[in-house]
Amino acid sequence: MNTYIKLAWRNLWRNKRRTMITTASIVFSVFFASLMRSVQEGSYDSMIDNMVKFYSGYLQVQDTAYWEEKTLENTIEYDSSLTQKISQINDVLLVTSRLESFALSAFKENSKPVFVMGISPGKEDRIIKLSEKTKKGKFLSEKDDGALIAEGLSRFLKINVGDTLVMISQGYHGVSAAGKFAVRGIFKHPNPEFNNNMVFLSLAKAQEFYSAYGRYTSELVMVEDHYEVDHVERAVENLLPPDKRVMTWEEMSPEMASMIEGDRAGGIVMLWILYLVIGFGIFGTVLMMVNERKREFGVISAVGMRKYKINVMLFAEIFMLGILGAIMGLILTTPVVWYFYENPLPLPQEMAEAMAEYGVEPFMYVSIRAELFIRQAVTVFVLSGIVAIIIMFNMARMDMVKALRG
């Protein structure tokens, strides 16, 4: 076998131009397939990331009745031991509590219904980098009695940093909730809906406003990315008492999950069409290589080398080309994808507006998960193997006498 490998390697470099052409077809096949999947999965990651960090989280621990009836009556009491146990699960980055409800906000003659979220500012800032998205004023502190409001809401109410926001609502057990909050800062949310009606308060201030002391509507569990959700969900379920449950982002946003799965299926169809084109391209270049060497095969057959040995040598050549092309394709892909990962491309205006409707920032993001690129390299390598098998069957039917005369 070592002899065949050595012969195959030497044969490849007897005609460097032919080898480089064949290898280039595989390299660019890996490159375009990898780039296509990276852009597709990167857009999904961005969409999910925006949604979970600014609203649902990757997982939420809630009262069993809260999701069907989102009222303050279905809040849960803080349990420090449960929080500690969840925090110790592998791949859990952060656990934080939220208190969510609605209110009517007003400033001078303007008023608007708003979505109020009580948060632990320090923990939330680690998740959503809200301090970086604060365009005016400053971010909230842990015991702040002021409010952080969305940019669209500030425009509608014509309110600015330092002004006083008035809110009225209904609190826990039906008590009246009313309060005045100094506007500490104004932030920009990537989702237009939230950007027009969201107000952040510190968790302690929100509990005081709604008279829901020591209670919260949900406990967010953050993981590295959405690929870690399933096993963390199973681990959290094992810790919860009967009156609580855990929900994943897919359960809380089924429309987005369905849209992503549908679009991913369409992308995979397009990818297989690309693979088909790639397969024919590789087949064409390899077939050209074999046809150019017919006389060579005829000569080595005439001096006593059997057809199956020629086939083994030829398979080894194509095998090496596949490995070489796949590795070079990955090497070419890595810096390009990394550049676009660090420097996302802004989308054209019309596309940007469409993406904004789904809460996705208007940039072309890419995914740098190694699995994506390795999978494309392996797939193209397998295609090379299939081409090699086809060529071997073609070689088995070759008339060596005609080949020698040719």
Would you say residue 305 lies in a domain? yes
**Which of 181, 210, 241 represents a domain boundary (last residue)?**
241
Q: What local confidence, expressed as pLDDT, does residue 1 receive?
A: 58
272/366 same-domain check: yes
Residue reference for tokens 């803080």: 78
Question: Average of pLDDT values for 41-55?
Answer: 77
pLDDT bucket at 326, cuts 50 / 70 / 90: confident
Would you say residue 312 lies in a domain? yes
Query: pLDDT at residue 206 above 90?
Result: yes
Would you say residue 57 lies in a domain? no
Q: What local confidence, expressed as pLDDT, does residue 405 receive?
A: 62
32/166 same-domain check: no
Convert the pLDDT of each residue in 13-37 to its tens digit: 777 787 787 788 788 878 888 888 8
42/187 same-domain check: no
Question: Average of pLDDT values for 58-64?
Answer: 91
Would you say residue 180 lies in a domain? yes
Q: What local confidence, expressed as pLDDT, does residue 306 receive?
A: 74
Any idea which of 106-120, 277-291, 314-328 has the lowest mean pLDDT? 277-291
Q: What local confidence, expressed as pLDDT, does residue 117 receive?
A: 92
pTM for the predicted model, two decimal places:
0.72
Would you say residue 58 lies in a domain? no
**Which of 241, 274, 302 represents a domain boundary (last residue)?**
241
270/297 same-domain check: yes
Convert the pLDDT of each residue in 328-351 to its tens digit: 888 988 898 888 888 888 877 777
Count: domains in the chain: 2
Would you say residue 247 lies in a domain? no
Would you say residue 56 lies in a domain? no
202/71 same-domain check: yes
Q: What local confidence, expressed as pLDDT, does residue 401 receive?
A: 63
Query: pLDDT at residue 260 above 70?
Result: yes
Average pLDDT, the chain: 84
Q: What local confidence, expressed as pLDDT, does residue 362 receive?
A: 73
Nearest in space to 328 (alpha carbons), one of 69, 104, 119, 29:
29
195/311 same-domain check: no
Q: What local confidence, expressed as pLDDT, does residue 349 receive?
A: 74
Would you say residue 35 lies in a domain? yes
Q: What local confidence, expressed as pLDDT, does residue 171 receive?
A: 92
Query: pLDDT at residue 60 above 80?
Result: yes
Supply the range of the domain harboring residue 153.
65-241
130-150 in b/e form (b: 16+ CB < 10 A) is: bbebbebbebbeeebbbbbbb
6/114 same-domain check: no
287-309 in b/e form (b: 16+ CB < 10 A) is: eebbeebbeebbebbeeeeeeee
199/293 same-domain check: no
36/71 same-domain check: no
For the chain, the maximum distance between any two Cα atoms, rounded to a whole number of angstroms, is: 100
**Which of 241, 274, 301 represents a domain boundary (last residue)?**
241
75/204 same-domain check: yes
Any idea which of 47-51, 115-119, 153-157, 184-188 has the lowest mean pLDDT? 47-51
Any idea which of 210-214, 290-294, 303-307, 357-361 has the lowest mean pLDDT? 357-361
Q: For the chain, give me the number of helices (H) and strands (E)?
A: 16, 14
Q: What local confidence, expressed as pLDDT, does residue 355 receive?
A: 64
Question: Average of pLDDT values for 286-311?
Answer: 73
- Give ∠ CA 327-273-352 in degrees, rounded to 5: 90
pLDDT bucket at 297, cuts 50 / 70 / 90: confident
Q: What local confidence, expressed as pLDDT, does residue 267 receive?
A: 80
171/307 same-domain check: no
397/276 same-domain check: yes
Question: Average of pLDDT values for 148-158?
Answer: 93
Query: pLDDT at residue 167 above 80?
Result: yes
